[in-house]
Structure 1
Amino acid sequence: MQFNVNNSPFNEEQREYLNRLIPTLTEAQKIWLCGFLSFPFIAGHEQSVQVDQTAAPKMEQSIQTREVTVLFGSETGNGQSLASTIVEKLQAKQLPVQSFSMDDFKPQNLKKVQDLLLITSTHGEGEPPENARSFYEFLHSKRAPKLENVRFSVLALGDESYEFFCQTGKDFDKRLEELGGERLYPRVDCDVDFEDPAEQWMSGVVAVLHETSNANASAISVSEKQAAATLLEEKQSVYSKKNPYPAEVLENISLNGRGSNKETRHLVLSLEDSGLTFEPGDSLAILPENDPELVDSLINELGWNPEESMQINEEGDIYSLRKALLSKFEITRLTKSFIQAAAELFHNEELKKLAAPGNEEKVKAYLDGRDLLDFVRDFRPVQLKPVDFIHILRKLPARQYSIASSLKANPDEVHLTISTVRFQAHGRNRKGVCSSQIAERIQPGDMLPIYVDQNPNFKLPSNPDTPIIMIGPGTGVAPFRAFLQEREAEGITGKSWLFFGDQHFSSDFLYQVEWQKWLKNGVLTKMDVAFSRDQAEKVYVQHRMLEKRKEFYQWLEDGAVVYVCGDEKHMARDVHQTILTILEKEGGLTSEQAAVYIDQMRKQKRYQRDVY
């Protein structure tokens, strides 16, 4: 609906402003605005729209509340998405709230904060995500202010299979308390299956904030119910982990040539009639199934009936033991919390010794490379019921893959580039859960449950003339295929430079024909490749960057956006250090100045990483 002189009482300037504003509002914001504007009617029942001078101060007093500040640290977008969700929930309660990426929040304003909600993931060896690093360092410095009047709560995201599980969230929580803050709700640590605990944290936080506010409940009860219904309807209408879309497999081929040491699959899935959309840089999540052979070996080892039925969750879902182990629970990775829980159930003295306090290093060593079958063979349980065993297992997490296609170039399809994981450990052959399922058990015509996971922190620049540098060895090249498909579909020919690396030119040059086509038609300006095993001395993408360091530096000075996708522990760190080296050698910067330069690039969204 557009406002004009015939259907509204607004003047020309007001009408123009409203016509620009209304289309940008979310449903929750529109509902909140309706409740706010209708307050005089609800509070006074028969008051006129014009509130007199005596009524206005009274209304202002009745809805005075503490302002809520939401800060998020996120690389893949999960933290940012959760921040948006809790903002909507708080707005539905008519609580004043503002939200910032930690990068965009001015640290000196921390002393002005009243109620602080902090959402953060953890990366690497317990490190903060890139857009939380500077705020993390400020908070742990002597410059951090005292926070005696601040209430706070922390939601920590992580992966329990890693040693420093949710470490950044734990550090923030501890530091805020040290600075004098009051914990308004306990910290919640989320594993990769974060939706339910995150929802519990949000519900608890919102309840505390609403209870302690002075908002007039009668004035907002209608809009609260409307907003809650709208949010529920929106969530139910979108495909998600709890409601995945069954996508048909259209194509599943190997990209590697004969003699390769690798098996990389190109997977094409149909999105026809799904309504799912995505942008280059987003990820696709697949809900995988465990290897049936591993499941059967586990059940046989325990001597259980695979068809025994049991309730597997609080929702009351009933599954057979075999089906539950196939599709609902993690059996290829062990965690410290599982070891501790099993020690209480297994009645195994050796296991109790391992799980005893002070044995953290032994537990860490044991976890490396072992799965559930190893565990029950090493620590055989006594009188253990299958249903009790199921309830200490970790839920089987979705596997996320960078999308390798553009929806504009390939309508109703999504493409993935998946490296098949196979290795040997402790005398047994091991397989990646999802990658081996794709490689060994999925054929065209089969269905895979999927949902889109948006990543707002890995996106093409809004200005098509901005130069881009893409660095992606192996399957890390996937999102850059999507980038170039998108640019070709939109007719964009701005400067672009791709660094790609793998083992062998003859067998591992993924999508070679496509890169060559884009080089020929100008969609791709430059490409440098590094095939590590084609010569005696290994050559990687960072070596090619150093060889072209003068030109690389000039592209940075010209405003290029740098994208890095792939392995975080080795490749991404080496590439990061190489960029610093280029800044020092070609820009004449000190190491400290180079670090500031790259930090400014990150804050300007000119240094984006999708690493794992």
Structure 2
Amino acid sequence: MTAATVSPLPEDKQPLVARLIDGLEAPALQWLSGYLAGVAVQRQGGGRPAPAEPVSVAETQARLTIVYGSQTGNAKRLAEELGRRASSAGLVARVVRADVYPLRELKQERLLYIVISTQGDAEPPDDARTLVEFLGSQRAPKLDGLHYAVLGLGDSSYPDFCAIGRQLDERLAALNAQRLLPAGEADVDVETVAQPWLEQALQHAREQLKTSTPLAKVTPLRTARSVPAWHREQPFEAPVLLNQRITGRGSDRDVRHLELSLEGSGLRYAPGDALGVWPTQSPALVDALLRAVQLDGEMAVRVAEEERPLRAWLSDRRELTQLTRPFFSAHAERCGDAALRELLQPASRDALATLFSRWQVLDLLRHHPAPWTADALVAALRPLAPRLYSIASSQAVVGEEVHLTVSHVDYALDGEARWGAASRYLSGRSENDTAPVFIEANERFRLPADERDIVMIGPGTGVAPFRAFVQERAERGASGRNWLLFGNPHFDSDFLYQVEWQQALKNGQLHRLDLAFSRDQSDKIYVQHRLREQGRRLYEWLDSGAHLYVCGDASRMAKDVHQTLIAIVAGQSGRTAEDAEAWLNQLIQQGRYARDVY
């Protein structure tokens, strides 16, 4: 909907407003709306328009600031929800992404909420790196007048669950800020912890700001985006159109190309977005787990107002293929095993991480038996959460379809099969089946709005979004160059979408393709080696304004690529390693270096 349909502006002014707000993200729009509200108040009182200064002390004392750092969008969604609730309660609130938050304003803040995720091995999200580094440095000011609260998001299958949230919570307290409520630590079933935390945070905000003088309310120029009919809590049953293995017979990896129909759903997505999939657990795994705990799957279990058989809870409501720290801790207490309790100590962090990478819930139950009741088991297991897959298609090309590139996680442990919940679920879908799906927007992983060059680094299934990127750029006739770096073990069996890439090169839709097949020679070659070989060319592209994208494994590949980029920038520009990393961080803040890592 355009501004013309919701605004009383004179007709000749409407195009100017549309041009002004075009391309602005939420933080900029929120600042602009606040500034214009101030102008309106000044003019109604006969005064002159207020100057466009960042913020006044009076405003900070009368306002709630919500800062978020988000990699996949959950922290952003919760921060915006808190902002809407605060506004509906009559409070003055602004929601700001961490990388555009003016750090100079921190000392003036009086009420600050931070919603932030932890990525991989205790890393901050890309958009919050500067904020986290600043608060941890000696430059951070004393915050004697600040009241704050932190909501952390994470994954308890990692030993350093919500580490960044805890780090910021402790650091703000050390800077003399006053904690309003304990830091929230939300697992991948985000809403379980997040919703009660938001309620408490809102109540504290009311109490802190109840004596403040409210600023003028602002009617938005554009209506809020409507909630789609199908979403995370109400997924669309998408018919499977194609499920095709795209690795060769000799490959030890089973990678699938899936095509699903979105016909009639009204769902829309952009290149860079993800498809959320709600899996169900394998019946064989559920049966094995029931035998391990010696419980009847037909026993009724009640959670809140819902009663279901134990088997049903385990099949589609509980996480079974990933161990989590809370469940591990609860089981250690039940079986009284000192060795398990020792693994929960800080000194055993690496050993616990190794165990979590190998064992699933079933392995813990078998190796360390302990008595469980049905009710206690369901309560202790983490709720099943959807899996997000980078979309491998452009909707401008495939219409009411969505394509995925899925690696079937399938391995043996102690001679018995193990697998990933969602990858097994999807790999087993046939053309007569459906899959419950929804769209998860990823606004920080977008093609440039202009015609700039792009560099795409996507080994393995990390190549998925770049298939969408190239399709989209070809469809709209973008003039910028496209450079793809792809890696996998073997050329003959693991070259995903080989024919498509070769055709794109021939058609001029892909301008450069660098390949790294790690096991086709005695020395392993990865994408970072190809980056080093092309260091001069890469720096020239980036220095000339190109956008850089990385997608794939967060634990090793993304870190190795980042360190390689630092070395390339330092070597090609004469910067120190520290200055080279600062230059790359500037690209992140500008949206020119984006990562979709997992």
- State the TM-score, normalizing by the size of structure 1: 0.85
Shift of 1:378: 2.9
* CA deviation vs aligned residue, 1:502-523 (integer Å, no higher than 9, x gap): 1111111111111122112221
Q: How far off is 1:438 after superposition?
A: 2.0
- Match for residue 412 of structure 2? 424
1:105-130, CA deviations, whole angstroms, 9 ceiling, x for partnerless residues?
22222111121110111123212122
Match of 1:330 in 2: 319
Residues 142, 22 of structure 1: alpha-carbon distance in 2 compared, 3 angstrom cutoff? closer
| Separation of aligned partners in 1, 2:8 and 2:169 | 51
Q: Is the 8 A contact 2:276 2:440 kept in 1?
A: yes
Distance in 1 of aligned mates of 2:104 and 2:163: 24
- For residue 570 of structure 2, give the secondary structure of its aligned residue in structure 1: helix
Q: Distance in 2 between matches of 1:540 and 1:442?
A: 32
Q: Which has the larger radius of gyration?
A: 1
Cα offset for 1:2?
9.0
Q: 1:257 aligns with which of 244, 248, 254?
A: 248
Alignment of 1:402-421 (within 5 A): 402-421=390-409
CA contact (8 A) 1:79 1:121 kept: yes
- The 1:432–1:353 alpha-carbon spacing in structure 2 relative to 1, beyond 3 Å, is closer
Q: Which residue of 2 aligns with 1:568?
A: 554
Residue 427 of structure 1: CA displacement? 4.4
Give yes or no for contact 2:158–2:353 (8 Å, CA) kept in 1: no
**Partner residue, 1:374:** 363
1:241 corresponds in structure 2 to 232
Task: Name the structure 2 match of 1:452.
Answer: 439
Give the Cα–Cα distance (whole angstroms) in 1 for the partners of residues 120 and 356 of structure 2. Answer: 18
* Contiguous gaps of at least 5 residues in structure 2: 48-58
Unaligned runs of 5+ in 1: 41-49, 54-62
How does 1:39-438 map onto structure 2 within 5 Å? 66-214=62-210, 237-311=228-302, 313-314=303-304, 316-343=305-332, 346=334, 348-350=335-337, 354-355=340-341, 359=345, 361=348, 366-382=355-371, 384-438=372-426
Moved more, 73-82 or 148-157: 73-82
- Pair 1:477 & 2:463 matched: yes
- What SS does structure 2 have at the residue aligned with 1:550? helix
Distance 2:7 2:466 in 1: 49
How far 1:335 sits from its partner (Å)? 2.3
Displacement of 1:349 in angstroms is 3.7
Alpha carbons of structure 1 residues 603 and 392: separation in structure 2 relative to 1, 3 Å: same
Take 1:432 and 1:584, find their aligned partners in 2: how far apart are those partners?
40
Query: What RMSD over aligned residues (CA atoms) do the two structures have, in Å?
Result: 3.5
Distance 1:551 1:490 in 2: 26
Given residue 378 of structure 1, which amino acid in structure 2 is its aligned partner?
A: H
**Number of aligned residue pairs:** 572
Q: Is the 8 A contact 1:281 1:479 kept in 2?
A: yes
**Counterparts of 1:495 and 1:363, CA distance in 2:** 45
C-alpha contact 2:61 2:110 (8 A) present in aligned 1: no
Measure, in 2, the Cα distance between the counterparts of 1:20 and 1:283.
29
Cα distance in 2 for residues equivalent to 1:368 and 1:337: 16
Cα distance in 2 for residues equivalent to 1:21 and 1:595: 33
| Paired amino acid for 1:145 | P
Closer/same/farther in 2, CA of residues 16 and 359 from structure 1, 3 Å limit? closer
Residue 215 of structure 1 deviates from its aligned partner by 7.2
SS of 2:209's equivalent in the other structure is: coil
Q: Classify the secondary structure of the residue corresponding to 1:409.
A: helix
Q: Give the share of equivalent positions with the same residue, in percent.
A: 39
Which range moved further: 392-401 or 95-104? 95-104
Amino acid in the other structure paired with 1:530: A
CA offset at residue 93 of structure 1?
2.0
Match of 1:58 in 2: none
Amino acid at match of 2:312: K
**Deviation of the 1:238 alpha carbon:** 4.1
Contact 1:65-1:215 at 8 Å conserved across structures? no
